[in-house]
Structure 1
Amino acid sequence: MDLMYYSELPGFLENENSLHKIDSISKLSEKYHFTGTLIFHHHGSMDPWFLASRVLHTTTKLLPLVATQPYSIPPFSLVKTLSTISNLLHRKVNLNLITGVSEMELSSVHQATDPTMKYARLEEYIQVLKGLLHSKEPLTFDGSYYKFNKLRLAPYIRQEHIPELFVPGSSKDSIRIAQAHGDTALLRPAPIHTFKEEYCSRFITDSVNLGIRISVISRSNSAEAWEAARRKFPANRSGVVKAKIRKNMLSHNTKLMAELALSGEVYDNIYWMGAYLNGLTEDPFLVGSYEEVAAYLQQYVDCGVTTFLFGDLNTEEDFIHINKTLKMLEAPRKEAIS
């Protein structure tokens, strides 16, 4: 299976250069042959569907991967949006189906913070989406969160534009829902040995792809990469405090990342939680030479990972460095094909 690469648009965009930033990252993602780009949804972000529209109008093939929170858009409204994009723009949009990490945001709109309830609602949401997307028959649905009687979608979405459903998270509930209803399970990974032991065996199936969300700082040699990493994300006391707070959150993956960061900064001489401890990102980083990072990514591929979501790609220099890494990752596959 071909590997797929996604970038991400910045989560916070508040200045006069925001539109230029969106266009730049989108165009660079397409230039360097990424599959798509993640668009965030939280209370401090811009509207994800406006940003998705901008991506669609400034690129020709790049897939917006839109973070979709059930309380923010009803399932029928979402499918109407996808249908409109399909029929007017002849483009596809993928969905990253989130339940919400911030307990403060969820409470502010009177939404459940209990993980079991959040995933129960998400499961119904996905069932409604798939019922509307995959059938031309009127939908009747009687659930705890959604009820519909002979609901019909028009115009129908084109088959080639039916979205792929990403389900993020590392908890039992998120993995179960991803395997039962999703196309890709997406999580921030632990160091490779822990990842193999705790997650790989759960995804020995053809029913769902396995994706990881991780960032990379790679250079021609390891020393240069580590210098760039520590310069960009210097040690920060407030970041450590933030990690301690995250350790007590209800989100399973958030707690795992916080515990990992507080237990150690560097694993395997390449997997780095220092950026997380800086407080400006929630991603683990791989830091090293192009060869070292490619080899580490290959271990995730060997474990079953087919999709990579890379954060912290903001300039063409960032894309140039990761492109050199990914070429090394792809080289054995191209040689095997030839």
Structure 2
Amino acid sequence: MKFYADLPMWLHYNDKNQLHLIHESAKLLEENGFAGSLLFYQHTTLDPWIVATGTLQATNNHLPIIALQPNTIPPFTAAKMIHSLVHLYGRKVALNLIPGQSPSELSQVNDTVPAEERFDRLVEYIEILRSLLQSNDPLTYRGKYYTYNELQVFAQVDEDLRPIIFMPGASSLFQKAALQSVDVAIQLASPISQLVNSFDILYDSHLELCCRLGIIARPTSQEAIEVAKEEVPMRFMQIVKKQGRASGFYTEEEERIYFPTEQGKAFRGPLLVGSYDEVASYFRRYKDLGIKHIIFSCIRSVEDLQHVKEVLNRAEMVKMN
């Protein structure tokens, strides 16, 4: 199982020395066994391609996972940028292919592709991108969303340095697109009792599976709950009430530990809350069920990192590889 963290959670965009923060955050994660960092794209964030160069400069093997949306750059530009990073650093990058999620940002750039077609466009985008990375031969492509005539950008990359492609989602459209196009499918982590059903047709497929979640763990469950209440005071209590009403859906253990709702800006994805041993025991089952990748959305400081690492130690995943 490989572990990643949301690198932007470490960055304070008002700080003056942001490059130093990128370097130090990536180095710290690598030193503690994390395989890579997830780099977001929004109009309000630093550009993930530029942030990726910072992580490559500061680390030896840390993998930047670069958010990429079709409405931001065409596939031949993405191919050229990947080729350039590989050529300059001798390292591979990964991509997180997103169909386009913010209605406001899509409207700003006049992206009028209907929501139900965006995964189809993404499949075409990935097909073109892979073709350009595999060969320098001219590419002629006739699709619904892209047309190219003898396109030649000289972006070929050796097979062992071509990017790992991730895709997040939950719908049937996502599942169909993921099966066609990517290496790793990402979902918000379902409770263990529902995990196989949540991945549906992807579970026994050729794809590797990835879950996003957060961990708030302390020596005792009560300490962890108190910290969680401070982090998400109103929502946390609403989730607790919701879990009580959904007792038929969760196991008794999950009603104590698993908190499903996205927690606003501070957290992306569900939370596991409890003592180190409780969370470690529960977390280990994701690996047992075949999950190959975990993206942690709760690491925003060295202290947070140490608490997560303690859980991983107790889950006997200390090497994190």
Normalized against structure 1, the TM-score is what? 0.83
Q: Which residue does the alignment assign to 2:191?
A: 191
Partner of 2:301: 315
Per-residue CA distance 1:122-170 (angstroms, 9 max, x = gap): 1100110111122343222100111112223425323221000001101
Q: Is the 8 A contact 1:83 1:156 kept in 2?
A: yes
Distance 1:51 1:286 in 2: 29
Of 281, 293, 298, the residue aligned with 1:295 is: 281
Q: 3-state DSSP class of the match of 2:170?
A: coil
Deviations 1:252-283 (Å, cap 9, x if unpaired)? xxxxxxxx899448943111247x35664332
Counterpart in 2 of 1:269?
A: 256
> What one-letter code is carried by the residue in structure 2 that aligns with 1:284?
P
Q: Look up the SS of the partner of 1:330 in the other structure.
A: coil
Which whole-Å deviations, capped at 9, do the CAs of 1:158-184 have from their partners, x for residues lacking one? Answer: 322100000110111111111221100
Q: Give the structure 1 partner of residue 13 of structure 2.
A: 14
2:78 matched to which residue of 1? 78
Closer/same/farther in 2, CA of residues 279 and 26 from structure 1, 3 Å limit? closer
Distance 1:155 1:120 in 2: 24
Aligned residues of 1:187 and 1:213 also touching (Cα < 8 A): yes
**Whole-angstrom distance in 1 between the partners of 2:280 and 2:4:** 16
> What do the CA deviations read for 1:8-34 (whole angstroms, capped 9, x no partner)?
122674302533432332111111111
* 2:41 alignment partner in structure 1: 41
- Secondary structure of the corresponding residue to residue 180 of structure 1: helix
Structure 1 residue 106, shift from structure 2 partner = 1.2
Aligned identity (percent) is 33
The 3-state SS of whatever aligns with 2:67 is strand
Distance of 1:125 and 1:81 partners within structure 2: 15
Q: Secondary structure at the match of 1:42?
A: coil
The answer as to whether partners of 2:257 and 2:273 remain within 8 angstroms in 1 is yes
8 Å CA contact 2:188–2:211 kept in 1: the answer is: yes
1:190-269 alignment to 2 at 5 Å? 190-199=190-199, 202-205=202-205, 207-235=206-234, 263-264=242-243, 267-269=254-256
- CA RMSD, aligned part only? 2.7
Aligned to 1:120: 120
Q: Which amino acid aligns with 2:301?
A: T
Residue 312 (structure 2) aligns with: 326
Would you say the 8 A contact 2:312–2:318 is kept in 1? no
1:209 offset after TM fit, Å? 0.3
Q: Distance in 1 between matches of 2:200 and 2:173?
A: 16
Structure 1 278/184 Cα, relative in aligned 2: closer, same or farther at 3 Å? Answer: closer
**Residue in 2 that maps onto 1:5:** 3
